[in-house]
Amino acid sequence: MSGNNSYPLLETIETPEQLRLLPTSDLPQLAAELRQFLIHSVATTGGHLSAGLGTVELTIALHYVYNTPEDRLIWDVGHQSYPHKILTGRRRLMSTLRQQGGLSGFPKRTESPYDSFGTGHSSTSISAALGMAVAARQEGCNRQVAAIIGDGAMTGGMAFEALNHAGHLKSNLLVILNDNEMSISPNVGGMHNYLAKILSGKLYSTMRDGSKNVLSIVPPMWELARKAEEHMKGMVVPGTLFEELGFNYIGPIDGHDLPTLITTMKNLRDRDEPQFLHIVTKKGKGFPPAEKNPTCYHGVTSFNPETGELCSSSTTPSYTELFGEWICDMAEQDERLIGITPAMCEGSGLVEFSRLFPQRYFDVGIAEQHAVTLAAGMACDGLKPVVAIYSTFLQRGYDQLIHDVALQNLPVLFAIDRAGLVGADGPTHAGSFDLSFLRCIPNLVIMAPADGNELRRMLYTGFLHNGPVAVRYPRGSGPDVAVEKEMKELVIGKGQVCREGRRVALLAFGSMVAPALQAAEELDATVVNMRFIKPLDEPLLIDMARHHDILITIEENAIAGGAGSAVNECLHKHAAGIPVINLGLPDRFVEHGRHEELLAQCGLDAKGIAKTVRNHLD
């Protein structure tokens, strides 16, 4: 891709220092080449596309104006950062994106000095940037700090906590709101770009500060002037909120207008106070399929860069799709069912539910804490909320899960997607810890399905239960089994013996049942689909201990504190003197790669399980 001279200007840029040597007249051509390179690169590797296409001009302007990496850029959320990676020495490595041993799909401090802060979850950039601005002040240096936050991330309360604190500290900080929604597009144009240049410039700043000094001698006159300025700006820009938080608000401006971006940023760079720059971009810009359907091209598999046609994927329904079917079926039967998601409608499989039951569907934005407590409030007054959430994002609502749901023993069903390793998205999105942090919570029932049919049964069982329930399931598809539409309830706390064998019993949880069955054929081992992490099937465990020489627990979760630990505690309580080996995710963050590669690396594929058992038997 880099050897055919299709990108004559881009190929001369290996570092931002080289970018800053270009005349501004060359930057539009660079933006065009960068956009085309990004499309063709992601078409091969897959990854996040729409967001990066919208930040091409912004990325160029930031590295053109700021002295990176000495000046700090913090991207929020990280999938905006592909153009940043390309311009900071990683263009030739983009073919390895999200592959084992290759580039991460998110900013990563160990990957490049230009990645000032690792991101994957949203709404963290302003807090991190403020911390860096405070550090610069403590060091007495003039290092600049900019946080680039996507509009979706502004729905997270953490962003406003940081804005409030930054305004109080009066730190030298620039916050850029990358707004790619269409609702305010009529406000973008020549007048607003002109006003942004004026309001960010030294003349306006000097006049404003000088007037403040003069009029402050007569307090009523200063207050009148302050209100007049606020109302004048409020008529042309939606920035009153940010002004009240202590920021100088500029915008909205066209985020694809390079001259305006560069002029405005240069003006803001020289002002030692909190600045808030509001830009408007088009998600998917420059690639018609992504412009038409930015959600579809938010995160993609490989695709045809000419037509946008996505490469075919598995025909077996994914766990996410099966959850989406179940919640629609269940909602038909029970009008109390409410669906809640923290900004993951498509990812959690709620698109059809939101269409069929719009009055019972709540997308709360990137606000996981609110999602959980909202569900708790609904459950208090007779509704049956189902919170569809990724495992990694549930971590952000942990206090609410304990304090607002479990402590009050409220009937909230948590449908926890992306449990275990998630492949190419890597450790920021892996659901490696949910069994460990869930099973210590009183009142909570925890289940893990071995296949799609069992998922439906567990969801139904959890929905009927009069207390909090978590059903955790992995990304992608499970074993290809027939899925029954009929709702069937499971007996809570009962496992299932799938295969009878000798000497060794493999106690498998959820996604590990399938590889355990494969390994058992070689080992002639017993396989138990445990189904429940809490409560455990204690009678079944004791029976396994009596009739086998060794027990092997297998889970796609951290070994520390996970399902295997629960088995250990149970056997210790019953004084069952039998060797137990716990298999699971190691005590480190597992990097990105194909899911099957990562499982093999952790010894959780059939071959790895069999090898571990043989070693212990020997």
Residues 36-84 pLDDT 10s: 999 999 999 998 898 899 999 999 999 999 999 999 999 998 888 999 9
pLDDT of 183? 32
Question: Which entry of 90, 396, 456, 472 is annotated as an active-site residue?
Answer: 396
C-alpha 298/C-alpha 142 separation (Å) is 37
Q: Please name the residue that has the structure tokens 């041993």.
A: 101
User: Measured between alpha carbons, how far is 340 from 51 in angstroms, rounded to an integer?
Assistant: 24
- Mean pLDDT, the chain, rounded, equals 90
Question: Taking residues 502-509, what's their average pLDDT?
Answer: 97
Query: How many C-beta atoms lie closer than 10 Å to residue 522's C-beta?
Result: 14
CB burial readout 438-462, b (16+ within 10 A) else e: bbebeebbbbbbbbbbbbbbbbbbb
pLDDT, one tens digit per residue, over 295-346 is 788 888 888 988 888 876 667 899 999 999 999 999 999 999 999 999 999 9
CB 461 within 8 A of CB 453: no
Identify the active-site residue in 72, 91, 108, 283.
283
The active-site residue, picked from 57, 368, 454, 555, is: 368
Rounded to whole angstroms, the Cα distance separating 301 from 42 reads 8
Q: Distance between terminal CA atoms of the chain?
A: 51
Query: Taking 70 as the threshold, does the pLDDT of residue 185 lie above it?
Result: no
- Is the pLDDT at 190 greater than 70, yes or no? no
Residue 283 designated active-site: yes
> Catalytic residue at 597?
no
Query: How do residues 453-501 score in pLDDT, each as one tens digit?
Result: 999 999 999 999 999 999 999 999 999 999 999 999 999 999 999 999 9
Is residue 401 a contact partner of residue 458, using CB atoms and an 8 Å limit? Answer: no
Euclidean distance between CA atoms 333 and 154, whole angstroms: 36
pLDDT at 271: 86
Q: How far apart are CA 445 and CA 536, in angstroms?
A: 10
198 band by pLDDT with thresholds 50, 70 and 90: low
Whether residue 396 lies in the annotated active site: yes
Q: Position of tokens 């998917």?
A: 284
The reported pLDDT for the residue numbered 489 is 96
> How large is the average pLDDT for residues 137-142?
93
**pLDDT tens profile 348-378:** 999 999 999 999 999 998 999 999 999 999 9
In this prediction, residue 212 has a pLDDT band, given cuts at 50, 70 and 90, of low
Q: Which helix (H) or strand (E) holds 251?
A: strand 248-254
Q: What is the pLDDT of residues 396-438, one digit of tens each?
A: 999 999 999 999 999 999 999 999 999 999 999 999 999 999 9
Whether residue 181 has pLDDT greater than 90: no
For residue 68, what are the CA distances in angstroms to 15, 61, 267? 9, 12, 17
43 Cβ contact list (under 8 Å, min separation 6): 302, 303, 304, 305
**Amino acid 191: pLDDT:** 40
pLDDT in tens, 571-598: 999 999 899 999 999 999 999 999 999 9
